[in-house]
C-alpha cells in the first residue's frame, strides 16, 4: 500500500509557537514511517509558511492526503486554520471550524456550556479600554482568575488576590486579547480528561494536576519539572464517571470532533465539578497529558495518532457525502 502523506502544520503566530514546535517533533517522531510520509509545514511567528502555504483551493495540494495541524492558540486552533483546510477540501485532524472557534473563545465556551447544562464557574467579561476592577470585586469578590479570552497554555493568565493585583492582571490579559474573562477562583483541585471520537466519543481516565506553583501556569506546564501528576486521578468510581460524562457532554455541546482535552476544577467545599476549558488541539509534547491519559487508558501514542488520522479521514468522507447545492 502507498504511504499516506501527512502534512504536519506547526509553529504559528500565537504565543504558543514554541510549544507547537515541541508538539510537532513528538508527533513526527511517533508517526509510523511504514504507513506515513511526513510533510513538514512550518508557520513562522510572522505567519510565513515554509516551504510554502497550503492553498485554499480543492485539488491544489495534490501531495497531501491528510493534515495534522498542531498550531496551538490564535490563528491555528481558533477555526482560522481549519477554514483553510475546508476551502482546500483536505481531511484534517481535530475539530472543525465552528467547534474550534467556539472552544477557543472562553466567553463563548462558557455561554454554550451553560446553555447545555454543563457546570461552569461564575464569570465576567470585560473589554480592553473598559477594564473595571471595582466591578469585578463587586460581582465576584477576590481572589479571581483573569484570562485573555482567546489564548491557551495559560499565557497571560493571572490569579489576583488584591485590588491592586487585579488591576495589573486585567492589563496583562488585555495585552493578549481585546476581551478579558474573569472567573471566581475555586479552592480545590485541578483535573484533565481526554476525549476522542466523532459521532461516537469516549473519555479517558482523568488525571489530577498537582502544581507546586500558585496554579498550573505556562512555566509549570512547559518550563519547570516540578508539577506532579496523578494518573489515574485519586477519585472514587462515581466521581470518575461524572467527570468522564461531563467531558463528553462539553465536547458535544461545542460541536467538537476528533480530539479535545477538557480541563476541570473541583471545589472542595461543595464537591462540585466545573468545566474550565476545552482544548481542541491539546499539547502533544513528550510530557503532554492528552496522549498520556490515553496511554493509561490503553491507547499508545503511536496508535492514538493512527486513530486521529482515521477520524479525520472518516469525517472528511462524511462531509463529502453532503450536498451543498441543488
Q: How far apart are CA 58 and CA 309, in angstroms?
A: 20
Angle at 310 between CA 309 and CA 313, to 5 degrees: 90
First CA to last CA distance, the chain: 37
Per annotation, catalytic residue among 73, 283, 288, 290 = 283
Catalytic residue check, 153:
yes
Catalytic residue check, 36:
no
Q: How far apart are CA 123 and CA 138, in angstroms?
A: 12
Catalytic residue check, 99:
no
Q: How far apart are CA 90 and CA 317, in angstroms?
A: 10
Provide CB contacts within 8 A for 144, sequence distance 6+: 136, 159, 160, 166, 182, 183, 184, 185
Q: How far apart are CA 68 and CA 308, in angstroms?
A: 9
CA 41 to chain centre: 20
Per annotation, catalytic residue among 105, 177, 190, 263 = 263
Question: Residue for cell digits 511517533?
Answer: 30
Per annotation, catalytic residue among 36, 123, 176, 222 = 222
**Do the strands 228-230 and 201-203 form a parallel or antiparallel pair, or are they unpaired?**
unpaired
Cα-flanking dihedrals φ and ψ of residue 33, to 5°? Answer: -65, -15
Q: How far apart are CA 37 and CA 9, in angstroms?
A: 14
Per annotation, catalytic residue among 14, 26, 61, 153 = 153
Per annotation, catalytic residue among 277, 288, 301, 315 = 277
Helix (H/G/I), strand (E/B), else coil: 194: strand
Q: How far apart are CA 61 and CA 206, in angstroms?
A: 39
**Do the strands 36-43 and 49-50 form a parallel or antiparallel pair, or are they unpaired?**
antiparallel
Catalytic residue check, 277:
yes
Cα-flanking dihedrals φ and ψ of residue 126, to 5°? Answer: -130, 160
Per annotation, catalytic residue among 10, 12, 13, 16 = 16
Per annotation, catalytic residue among 123, 279, 288, 290 = 279
Catalytic residue check, 32:
no
Catalytic residue check, 41:
no
* Residues tagged active-site: 16, 153, 222, 261, 263, 277, 279, 283
Amino acid at each position: 500500500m502507498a504511504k499516506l502523506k501527512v502534512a504536519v502544520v506547526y509553529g504559528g503566530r500565537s504565543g504558543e509557537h514554541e510549544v507547537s514546535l515541541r508538539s510537532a517533533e513528538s508527533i513526527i517522531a511517533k508517526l509510523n514511517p511504514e504507513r506515513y510520509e511526513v510533510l513538514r509545514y512550518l508557520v513562522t511567528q510572522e505567519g510565513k509558511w515554509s516551504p510554502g502555504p497550503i492553498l485554499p483551493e480543492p485539488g491544489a495540494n495534490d501531495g497531501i492526503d491528510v493534515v495534522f495541524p498542531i498550531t496551538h492558540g490564535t490563528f491555528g486552533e481558533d477555526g482560522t486554520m481549519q477554514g483553510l483546510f475546508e476551502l482546500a477540501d483536505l481531511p484534517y485532524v481535530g475539530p472543525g471550524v465552528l467547534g474550534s472557534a467556539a472552544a477557543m473563545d472562553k466567553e463563548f465556551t462558557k455561554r454554550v456550556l451553560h446553555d447545555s447544562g454543563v457546570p461552569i464557574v461564575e464569570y465576567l467579561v470585560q473589554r480592553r479600554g473598559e477594564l473595571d476592577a471595582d466591578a469585578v470585586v463587586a460581582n465576584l469578590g477576590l481572589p479571581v482568575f483573569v484570562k485573555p479570552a482567546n489564548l491557551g497554555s495559560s499565557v497571560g493568565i493571572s490569579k489576583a488576590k488584591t485590588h491592586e493585583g487585579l488591576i495589573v492582571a486585567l492589563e496583562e490579559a488585555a495585552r493578549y486579547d481585546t476581551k478579558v474573562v474573569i472567573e471566581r477562583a475555586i479552592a480545590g483541585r485541578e483535573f484533565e480528561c481526554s476525549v476522542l471520537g466523532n459521532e461516537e466519543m469516549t473519555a479517558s481516565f482523568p488525571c489530577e494536576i498537582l502544581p507546586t506553583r500558585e496554579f498550573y501556569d505556562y512555566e509549570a506546564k512547559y518550563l519547570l519539572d516540578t508539577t506532579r501528576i496523578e494518573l489515574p486521578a485519586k477519585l472514587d468510581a462515581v466521581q470518575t464517571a461524572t467527570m468522564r460524562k461531563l467531558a463528553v457532554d462539553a465536547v458535544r455541546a461545542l460541536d467538537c470532533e476528533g480530539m479535545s482535552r477538557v480541563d476541570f476544577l473541583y471545589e472542595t467545599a461543595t464537591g462540585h465539578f466545573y468545566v474550565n476549558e476545552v482544548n481542541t488541539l491539546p499539547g502533544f509534547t513528550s510530557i503532554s497529558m492528552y496522549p498520556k491519559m490515553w496511554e493509561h487508558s490503553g491507547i499508545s501514542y503511536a496508535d492514538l495518532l493512527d486513530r486521529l488520522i482515521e477520524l479525520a479521514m472518516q469525517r472528511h468522507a462524511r462531509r463529502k457525502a453532503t450536498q451543498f447545492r441543488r
